[in-house]
Amino acid sequence: MSKKVIHAIFDDEEILLQSVKEIRSKKYDIEEVYSPFPVHGLDHALGLKETRMAITAFIYGCIGLSFGGLLIYYIMISGVGKSWPMNIGGKPNFTFYQNVPSFVPIMFECTVLFAGHLMSLTYFYRNKLYPGASTKSPDPRTTDDKFLMELIVEDSDKEITKILKSTGASEINEKNIEDE
Amino acid sequence: MHQESEIRDPLILGNKTYHDITREIALPVEGKANKYWWILFGLSVVLFLWGIGCMAYTIGTGIGVWGLNKTVNWAWDITNFVWWIGIGHAGTLISAVLLLFRQKWRMAINRSAEAMTIFGVVQAGLFPLIHMGRPWLAYWVFPIPNTYGSLWQNFNSPLLWDVFAISTYLTVSTVFWYIGLIPDFAMIRDRMSKTISPMKKQLYTLLAFGWSGRAKHWQRFEEVSLVLAGLATPLVFSVHSIVSMDFATSVIPGWHTTIFPPYFVLGALFSGFAMVETLLIIVRKVVHMEAYITIKHIEYMNIIILFTGSMVGTAYITELFMAWYSGVEFEQYAFLNRATGPYWWAYVSMMSCNVIIPQLYWIKKIRTSFIATFILSIFVNIGMWFERFVIIVTSLHRDFLPSAWSMFSPTFIDIGIFLGTIGFFFVLFLMYARTFPVVAQAELKTILKSSGSEYKKRSHE
């Protein structure tokens, strides 16, 4: 059986939000929503899972902290530090814990460096954003002032157009897609 | 929808639609530059080239071409470094700290403020680089495996902390800025399809990273922005604290004070907000952002300047009190000499520009005037440069041996490099104002209905 893609365009984020709730309550699956700015509550209305970006940042931060600590431990205390002992301000570099106050700034900076950059790279990777990638949005107006809802339904389905119209879609485009 | 109090002034003036915001923010990018832009750009390029000449002369001949001597062995270079780094701090405060505090007025100004941060930190970074004398060996400051035996960095040194702090600050700020820019570049890319040249469209396609505004992407975008703001907030405070420790961990009277980190951070925010105002008052006129960067935004920033200026004044007086209270002769002399010695004029400039003049902001008429704000912001910029000069030069020029006492006077190379960085900064900022969306339009659209003046009027009728 063949299917069709419906692109419903909305002019206002509140109307869109109402429509999303209405359509989801009628057991339709919404493929995607494209919007020019973040619409609050849309992720919950669409039933999207919570993002785990903050968790990745925490993990990367821990890696950065350990990296900074180990780097300093090797250079100042254990490895190079053994063959080149230093005594600065009457504080010899025998042990890590006695010198740690002056190591805090760099360990902190390493934490932020790793968390910030690796989380951003993860964000680019998960969103498939890279220099020169082409946009996936079906309509260029979605970065300006239009909100686009994408649905894939059975070709014979006439109900959905009615619901979209009644919930305030300003424009509905249908396209048949081949189904093997 | 989120409702906002009637008493709160609108942040977006006029009867705007989402499309108006798109159009007006894309306009400077799509249009041609006017005469004033070219005049300013030409002047900045001349200054920049002059600066490059002076830098080349310094590197070719040696640091001896500066006005430094055996007693005053640190002067304009570190003054300029701290001044530029300090200016950068306001951008991060606006984009990160105000995001955590959910201040909506940041949305119209965070893009330009963060641009100022990045360009300011670039200028700051030039000074230690040139001061190394052999800048091609600059990578020696990083702990990378080397073939020179046990040649490694000293992790006890605040100068090395600075290397880490400033590299982290510059790169994380740039990434934070860019992630916010992607949806706006996408907006420009999608408008370009109809009108502008294909090369420009290709450029913005490249810059937009293929952004399409999916719901999941926006969800991640918001979380990433929030986490980056959370990371940038302690980062920005750490950066200037570490800069202050370059001085505070030494044993020079006048530098060796525990008040330095908070005092430097507040001073940095103070000077940074002044620079944001100087720039934005020009930008809003030149690229017609009057509806988005309003007098209310300027007033909020003036209140921050008033607060941080008073705190800086308190720090100056605390320093004087602590010098007297310490009972240490050398400490007492350092501060007496600072205020009444041969550099009294620098101290007076600092005190009047940073402590007395910002007090005018208690007057509402002055606080809510573009012209008065512009003039006062210039005073603060100058005053904060003098603050660093006073701290650095007056503490050094009369050192432990009276026979070594001397004065510092800059050579034309010193002046040339400083002016060159101002030129470089404006070259970058002017190019940014023509090619980048200067207001974060995607974010701004989220507050149009709650803070737009027409929407506010309608919802309260």
Q: How far apart are CA A148 and CA A13, in angstroms?
A: 10
Mean pLDDT of B260-274: 92
CATH dotted code for A3-36+145-177: 3.30.70.120
Note down the domain range covering B277: 18-139+154-453
Mean pLDDT of A40-54: 87
The pLDDT mean for chain B works out to 89
Q: Is residue B4 part of a domain?
A: no
List the single residue in B213, B231, B238 with the smallest CB-CB distance to A36: B213
Partners of A148 in the beta sheet?
Answer: A9, A34
Residue with tokens 């931060």: A61
Mean pLDDT of B147-163: 81
Own/partner pairs, B386-389, CB within 8 angstroms, 24+ separation: B386/B346, B386/B349, B386/B350, B386/B353, B387/B267, B387/B312, B387/B350, B387/B354, B388/B78, B388/B79, B388/B82, B388/B83, B388/B86, B389/B75, B389/B76, B389/B79, B389/B346
User: In the predicted model, is pLDDT for residue B46 greater than 60?
Assistant: yes
Q: Is residue B436 part of a domain?
A: yes
The rounded percent of chain B whose pLDDT value lies above 70 is 97
Q: Is residue B9 part of a domain?
A: no
Q: Which residue of B176, B202, B218, B444 to mutate against A (max A Cβ within 10 Å)?
A: B218
Q: Is B223 on the interface with A (CB under 8 A)?
A: yes
Mean pLDDT of B334-355: 92
Give me the residue spans of the domains in chain A.
Answer: 3-36+145-177, 53-126
Residue A180: band (very low, low, confident or very high) from pLDDT cuts 50, 70, 90: very low
User: In the predicted model, is pLDDT for residue B329 greater than 80?
Assistant: yes
Residue with more model confidence, B2 or A19 = A19
User: In the predicted model, is pLDDT for residue B432 greater than 80?
Assistant: yes
CATH number, domain of B306, equals 1.20.1630.10
pLDDT tens for B14-29 read 788 888 888 888 888 8
List the single residue in A36, A46, A130 with the smallest CB-CB distance to B445: A36
- Chain A partners within 8 Å of B207 (Cβ): 131
Q: Is residue B147 part of a domain?
A: no
Q: How far apart are CA A76 and CA A91, in angstroms?
A: 12
Residue with more model confidence, A179 or A143 = A143
Three state DSSP letters for chain A: CCEEEEEEEECCHHHHHHHHHHHHHCCCCEEEEECCCCCCCHHHHHCCCCCCHHHHHHHHHHHHHHHHHHHHHHHHHHCHHHHCCCEECCEECCCHHHHHHHHHHHHHHHHHHHHHHHHHHHHHHHCCCCCCCCCCCCCHHHHCCCEEEEEEEECCCCHHHHHHHHCCCCEEEEEEECCC
pLDDT value at position B35? 84
pLDDT tens for A93-136 read 888 888 888 899 999 999 999 999 999 999 999 988 888 888 88
Quote ipTM for the complex.
Answer: 0.91
- Chain A partners within 8 Å of B167 (Cβ): 113
The amino acid occupying position B70 is: K
Q: Is B191 on the interface with A (CB under 8 A)?
A: yes
pLDDT value at position B301? 92
User: In the predicted model, is pLDDT for residue B9 greater than 90?
Assistant: no
Q: Which residue of A143, A150, A151 to mutate against B (max B Cβ within 10 Å)?
A: A143
The pLDDT mean for chain A works out to 85
Mean pLDDT of A8-33: 85
Q: How far apart are CA B119 and CA B440, in angstroms?
A: 18
Q: Is residue B11 part of a domain?
A: no
- Find out whether B179 and B225 touch, Cβ atoms under 8 Å: yes
- Find out whether B26 and B188 touch, Cβ atoms under 8 Å: yes
User: In the predicted model, is pLDDT for residue B137 greater than 60?
Assistant: yes
Q: Is residue B461 part of a domain?
A: no
CA–CA min distance A44, chain B (Å): 10
- Inter-chain touch A133–B445, beta carbons under 8 Å: no
pLDDT value at position B148? 66
Q: How far apart are CA A139 and CA B201, in angstroms?
A: 16
Chains A, B: CB contacts within 8 A come to 199
Q: Is B285 on the interface with A (CB under 8 A)?
A: no
Q: Is residue B5 part of a domain?
A: no
Residue A78: band (very low, low, confident or very high) from pLDDT cuts 50, 70, 90: confident
pLDDT tens for B190-236 read 887 655 677 888 888 889 898 988 888 999 999 999 999 999 999 99
The rounded percent of chain B whose pLDDT value lies above 90 is 54
| Lookup: tokens for B21 | 């915001």
Q: How far apart are CA B330 and CA B336, in angstroms?
A: 10
Number of domains in chain B: 1
pTM for this prediction? 0.91
